[in-house]
Amino acid sequence: MKISIKTEHFAILQKLQKIRKPIEARSLSEKLKIPYEKLMSGAIFSLEQVGLAKFQEEELELITLTKEAKSYLNLGLPERQIFNMLGKNDRKEVKLLDFAKEIEEKLNFQKRLFFVGISKMKKNRWILSSKSMGYEQIFINKESPEKTEEEQVLDLFKDKISYSLSEIPKKLREAINSIYNRKLVKKNKRILRLVELTPKGKIITKEELQLIDEEINLISSEMLKDGSWKKNLSNLKNYEVNALGPNITAGKYHPLTIIINEVREVFHSMGFEEIKGPIVEEAFYNFDCLFQPQDHPAREMQDTFYLKNPAEGKLPKKKIVEVIKNTHENGGTTGSTGWGYKWSEEIAKKMLLRTHTTATTIRRLSHITKKTKLPMKVFCVDRVFRNESEDRTHLAQFMQIDGIVIGENLTLSDLIGQLVEFYKRMGFDKVVTRPGFFPYTEPSMEVSVYSKKLGAWLEMGGSGMFRPEVTYAWGVKDPVRVLAWGLGLERLAMLKLKRNDIRDLYQSPIKWLREVSY
């Protein structure tokens, strides 16, 4: 059976046959004077459906000049402008500082720009300098120097306002980097659609096609009554049963939300209940209850965001505060010697953004009573804050997965069992624990999982059994013990979502978000 296409689409097919190579959809739409959307969803879509055309998406980095660089287009880069000034009236040498003033007056270049120019001129060996007179003098070293690679790059922009990297001649690519570092060019991401005919589309002729002026995609009751539908059989639009539905870009869950929900499901399936706690915490719950001494480095300003308003929070009942104080100072009744310093209520009252969700599990522990049914298993997956500079693997705001199990005669093997089971249900077969250290657990373990894709072990977080210094205050004593852990969420998410920049999870590259399914 002949392939049928609309006559107007055939005209476009012929144009594409002439063009031969892939063409950018936008320039095609300009060439044909057909609006872009109409071209893509009409002709190209239909030709694609019948296997005559295809299109690819390509993410391109477009390089354009900054405003500063545009002002150099006609006059030349600062080094060239300054060099031209230097050579005026057959001058061969000049005192650097006098020259700076001259340039400031004549070219209106600020000192900074002047010195950038001078250093470039030296690097290009257009000039030499000497301090033998007790001040810096510069001399012309080349009479009329050839254009540097940076200048050649600039010249490219006289013909066209933007280039993709692949359009830049290979020998100038390095110069692009240096000119980028000079803030003379910007790089912008753009998605290009390249339209191209399939091998079949390239050679198909009019005779092999069924051209239809108007396609009938709905048979009306009139057509049925007067029988005209029979006459138009060849104009009936065919069903394309293999066609994929359109890519739905409507609202959907964010990939990170999906993973958070998966974490929740896994813990629920293991018999845990979810708990929530305040993001704005007292240092008391974030640090003191966890037996972190008040001069602990993690409490310092560079790690913890302290609040100005309210700067002070509330502490629980006096009796409890007294127990925590004693624990820190001398160990209290826990059998420990404590840290041996003077504990301050003021420091414990400070308000902060919680630095770990262990603040929330400890709050839950603090509500335990004699009536609480054991074992008790709770988890918390939520946001935490640390004053870190952001990069590929760090954010100042991220998520943690904390959990505790309170029960009689629990052991380290139970803890390992819970962690291994959690990661197994999350899709990671291999888990390893190594000795670690936290002020609030003994023994403590670091937890790593194996990523098949990366062929490496990746550290996921910490865990351990809460020390008596942490549990006694709430009446939790041997043989009742508390297993605890605090795991990173984003690293797990990055592995599962195959992203290698943590910022992708929060700053949302739109192309990726459109592609990921529910």
> Could you write out the DSSP letters of every residue in 118-153?
HHHHHHTTSEEEE-TTSS-EEEE--SSPPPPHHHHH
Identity of the residue, 109 or 291, whose beta carbon is nearer to ligand PHE in the bound complex: 291
Of the candidate spans 278-286, 423-431, 483-491, 495-503, the one that interacts with ligand PHE by CB under 6 A turns out to be: 483-491
Identity of the residue, 209 or 447, whose beta carbon is nearer to ligand PHE in the bound complex: 447
Beta bridge partners of 54: 196
The least CB distance from residue 435 to ligand PHE, in Å, is 12
Identity of the residue, 137 or 463, whose beta carbon is nearer to ligand PHE in the bound complex: 463
Pairing of strands 3-6, 209-212: parallel
The least CB distance from residue 346 to ligand PHE, in Å, is 24
Identity of the residue, 445 or 495, whose beta carbon is nearer to ligand PHE in the bound complex: 445
How many angstroms separate the CA atoms of 226 and 312, rounded? 85
- Total residues at interface with ligand PHE (CB under 6 A): 12
How many angstroms separate the CA atoms of 494 and 399, rounded? 13
Residue 96: both structure tokens together: 């650097």
Residue 183: both structure tokens together: 């803030």
> Three-state SS for 384?
strand
The least CB distance from residue 405 to ligand PHE, in Å, is 12
Identity of the residue, 334 or 355, whose beta carbon is nearer to ligand PHE in the bound complex: 355
Identity of the residue, 99 or 466, whose beta carbon is nearer to ligand PHE in the bound complex: 466
How many angstroms separate the CA atoms of 162 and 187, rounded? 10
Identity of the residue, 63 or 483, whose beta carbon is nearer to ligand PHE in the bound complex: 483
Contact between 489 and 259 (Cβ < 8 Å)? yes
The least CB distance from residue 348 to ligand PHE, in Å, is 18
Look up residue 50 and give its DSSP letter.
Answer: T
The least CB distance from residue 402 to ligand PHE, in Å, is 6
Angle at 44 between CA 40 and CA 48, to 5 degrees: 130
Does 485 bind ligand PHE (CB under 6 A)? Our answer is yes
82-111: contacts with ligand PHE (CB under 6 A)? none
Residue 195: both structure tokens together: 């339209």
Choosing from 304, 334, 360, 441, the residue that interacts with ligand PHE (CB under 6 A) is 441
The residue whose Cβ lies closest to ligand PHE is 486
Radius of gyration of the chain (CA): 35
Q: Where are the alpha helices (DSSP H) in 240-357?
A: 255-269, 283-286, 318-330, 345-349
Identity of the residue, 313 or 486, whose beta carbon is nearer to ligand PHE in the bound complex: 486
The least CB distance from residue 483 to ligand PHE, in Å, is 9
The least CB distance from residue 462 to ligand PHE, in Å, is 3
Does 354 bind ligand PHE (CB under 6 A)? Our answer is no
Contact between 415 and 463 (Cβ < 8 Å)? yes
Identity of the residue, 464 or 468, whose beta carbon is nearer to ligand PHE in the bound complex: 464
Identity of the residue, 69 or 419, whose beta carbon is nearer to ligand PHE in the bound complex: 419
Pairing of strands 273-274, 376-385: parallel
Interaction mask 162-201, ligand PHE, x per CB under 6 A: ----------------------------------------
Tokens 């002070």 -> residue: 312
The least CB distance from residue 476 to ligand PHE, in Å, is 15
Residue 408 parent element (H or E) = strand 397-408
Does 358 bind ligand PHE (CB under 6 A)? Our answer is yes
Choosing from 410, 484, 502, 505, the residue that interacts with ligand PHE (CB under 6 A) is 484
Residue 445 parent element (H or E) = strand 441-451
Q: 340 in the Ramachandran plot: left (φ > 0), alpha (ψ -120 to 50) or beta?
A: left
Of the candidate spans 197-205, 362-370, 484-492, 500-508, the one that interacts with ligand PHE by CB under 6 A turns out to be: 484-492
Interaction mask 377-416, ligand PHE, x per CB under 6 A: -------------------------x--------------
Look up residue 28 and give its DSSP letter.
Answer: H
Residue 283: both structure tokens together: 């240092």
Angle at 93 between CA 89 and CA 95, to 5 degrees: 115
The least CB distance from residue 461 to ligand PHE, in Å, is 6
How many angstroms separate the CA atoms of 314 and 282, rounded? 7
Q: For the chain, give me the number of helices (H) and strands (E)?
A: 23, 18
Contact between 86 and 140 (Cβ < 8 Å)? yes
The least CB distance from residue 460 to ligand PHE, in Å, is 10
Look up residue 298 and give its DSSP letter.
Answer: G
The least CB distance from residue 359 to ligand PHE, in Å, is 9
Q: 499 in the Ramachandran plot: left (φ > 0), alpha (ψ -120 to 50) or beta?
A: beta
Identity of the residue, 157 or 466, whose beta carbon is nearer to ligand PHE in the bound complex: 466
How many angstroms separate the CA atoms of 226 and 89, rounded? 95
Identity of the residue, 109 or 438, whose beta carbon is nearer to ligand PHE in the bound complex: 438
ω into 310 cis (within 30 of 0): yes
Interaction mask 448-467, ligand PHE, x per CB under 6 A: -------------xxxx---
Identity of the residue, 356 or 363, whose beta carbon is nearer to ligand PHE in the bound complex: 356
The residues binding ligand PHE (CB under 6 A) are 356, 358, 402, 438, 441, 461-464, 484-486
